[in-house]
Chains A and B, each alone.
Chain A
Amino acid sequence: MHQTFDATLEMNLLHANQHGADKNRAQLDSWGITCLNLMSSPGSGKTQLLEKTLQQLNSELQMAVIEGDMTTQLDAERLRRCGVPVIAINTGRACHLDSRMVAGGLLQFANEQQPNEFDLVFVENVGNLVCPAEFEVGEHAKVALLSVTEGEDKPLKYPIMFREADCLLITKIDLAPFLEIDIETIVANVRQINSKADIFLVSAKTGEGLDHWLDWIRQKTPASCC
């Protein structure tokens, strides 16, 4: 004879990832480090934006990068040339960084550096507009990038990413005059889903708009005001 029972679990399917993300954040807090998670589709300019950002903030802040890519160390090598420590994580077949991978990256960072001396860690997520939005890694804020070449409709098609973002950078605006694209429509589409995110128009190539982005980072990084 068998008797059937019912047990209520009421547990988040991403419970394990969330728990890991909270631990990472607590670890970063104990070092006094702010962590920003940069997410976008491949080729929207995350690495070039980071290069310019690292160069411009190098004299003010101690920074490091956790660089996620499915394969290769190409981006990690580019960023190392900016003079900051870069921890490269190859995700293999996974299409996003999760909190366990970033925990491994933070452990390596702590072994190689003096984490207490750092102010800011950028996580450059795997280029992908879908999954990274659901997997917190322990960041203090999420930054989404959308380049003008990707089209106005992306915030409508990939709403979770744009809903979750604390800051949205519309990148490559130097190319806008050559495209049939209306930046106001991009902003309006984002605003349908997210009324709170700070939105900046930038070109890492010409430097246009970067000041606002750098000021936003300074505001998020307590160490920069002391």
Chain B
Amino acid sequence: MHETDMTKALILTVKDWLSEQSGHPVVERIHLTVGQFTCVEPASLQFAFRAQVQGTFLEKSDLVIEETPLLAFCHPCQQEYRPEIGLQYACPVCQSPLEDILSGRELKINRVEFSQPTSV
């Protein structure tokens, strides 16, 4: 369950960020990007997040996870292709090994949506 560790790191990062903001911002949504070619399972991350934020400043916040597909670039063919994870990683046309990964390795905290009470 390394998703638990990652969630802890995520909460700490957001907490640090929040402490640098002025006023009393309330975190509404945290947006993550998780690539399909990582060791992270979005459902486990979501589960770990819900369990760990109970009773904290993030209890009412949503975690939004965007998954990015594995996309590779084949140099001999000068073309993008989509490797099939578990089956075929080499270029389906020329069989060159998986070299450059264009997307799918992301593990990123993208942005935070938050609200601020406004003085009327």
Question: Could you list which residues of chain A lie within 8 angstroms of chain B, going by C-beta atoms?
Answer: 1-17, 93-96, 98, 130-131, 133-135, 156-157, 159-160, 163, 191-195
Judge whether B98 and A163 touch: CB under 8 Å: yes
CA distance A13 to B9 in the complex (A): 7
Q: Is B115 an interface residue (CB 8 A)?
A: yes
Question: Could you list which residues of chain B lie within 8 angstroms of chain A, going by C-beta atoms?
Answer: 1-2, 5-6, 9-10, 12-13, 17, 25-26, 28, 32, 34, 37-40, 85-90, 97-99, 107-118, 120
Judge whether A194 and B111 touch: CB under 8 Å: no
Q: Which of A2, A11, A16 has the most CB of B within 10 A?
A: A11
Judge whether A7 and B112 touch: CB under 8 Å: yes
CA distance A160 to B89 in the complex (A): 12
Closest CB-CB distance, A83 to chain B, in whole Å?
A: 34
CA distance A98 to B108 in the complex (A): 18
Judge whether B6 and A14 touch: CB under 8 Å: yes
Judge whether B97 and A156 touch: CB under 8 Å: no
- What are 10 A-B pairs with beta-carbon distances under 8 A? A1-B118, A6-B111, A9-B17, A9-B109, A12-B108, A12-B109, A13-B10, A13-B109, A133-B39, A156-B89
Judge whether A3 and B115 touch: CB under 8 Å: yes
Judge whether A157 and B113 touch: CB under 8 Å: no
The one of B2, B6, B89, B117 in contact with A159, judged by C-beta atoms closer than 8 angstroms, is B89
The one of A17, A96, A160, A191 in contact with B9, judged by C-beta atoms closer than 8 angstroms, is A17
